[in-house]
Amino acid sequence: MRAFANKHSTMIGTIALDVLDVDSNPEQGFQDAIVIRLRLRPEPTLVETMFEATDASVYSIDGLGDRERSQEIFDHLRANVECHRRSGKRYGKAACGVHVILRNTDFNLIDIIPVIFSENHIHLPPRFGPEYTGSDWKEGLLTFLNGGIIREEQVPTF
């Protein structure tokens, strides 16, 4: 799942920042996460089309299930952002972060991907063409993931 996410990291990260509206509330990533449900395709030939995305939703920390485990996940994100701030490297001035949770429904596995961003990233509008208009983010996201479409316009990091 991590290789699949890395292929689509720019698009997933940018849509996550847009959907969670971190431009108006950078702290939103510490309260909500995007969960993308994936199903392994039979006999996949390319990493970028290895999974079929069946759904994507925004969940609050309370809606993810086990409250204690969910709090752990969000605390880890906060620590990761703080580590980036202290490092002084590329994202040394990181404003915040968001979580994208990939859930493989075939094997009930999850991969939690932190998207760390600086203030420069939250003001960039997504530029992914007609497949994604921003108004129906879920449909655009599923179209990109299921079509193996990779975009490199934005620079969020995983």
Asked whether 35 and 103 are in contact (CB, 8 A), the reply is: yes
- If you average pLDDT over every residue of the chain, what do you get? 81
- Is residue 158 domain-resident? no
- Number of folded domains that form the chain: 1
Beta pairing class for 94-104 and 51-60? unpaired
- Is residue 105 domain-resident? yes
For residue 148, what is the DSSP state?
T
Mean pLDDT of 18-40: 89
Asked whether the predicted pLDDT for residue 154 surpasses 70, the reply is no
pLDDT tier for residue 40 given thresholds of 50, 70 and 90: very high
- Is residue 93 domain-resident? yes
Range of the domain at 119: 2-147
- Is residue 152 domain-resident? no
Mean pLDDT of 23-38: 89
The pLDDT, as a whole number, for residue 155 is 43
Mean pLDDT of 31-52: 92
- Is residue 156 domain-resident? no
d(CA 12, CA 66): 25
- Is residue 157 domain-resident? no
The pLDDT, as a whole number, for residue 158 is 46
Q: How large is the C-alpha radius of gyration of the chain?
A: 15
- Is residue 84 domain-resident? yes
d(CA 105, CA 67): 21
Q: What is the 3-state secondary structure (H, E, C) of 2-70?
A: HHHHHHCHHHHHHHHHHHCCCCCCHHHHHCEEEEEEEEECCCCCCHHHCEEEEEEEEEEHHHHCCHHHH
Asked whether 94 and 68 are in contact (CB, 8 A), the reply is: no
Asked whether 135 and 30 are in contact (CB, 8 A), the reply is: no
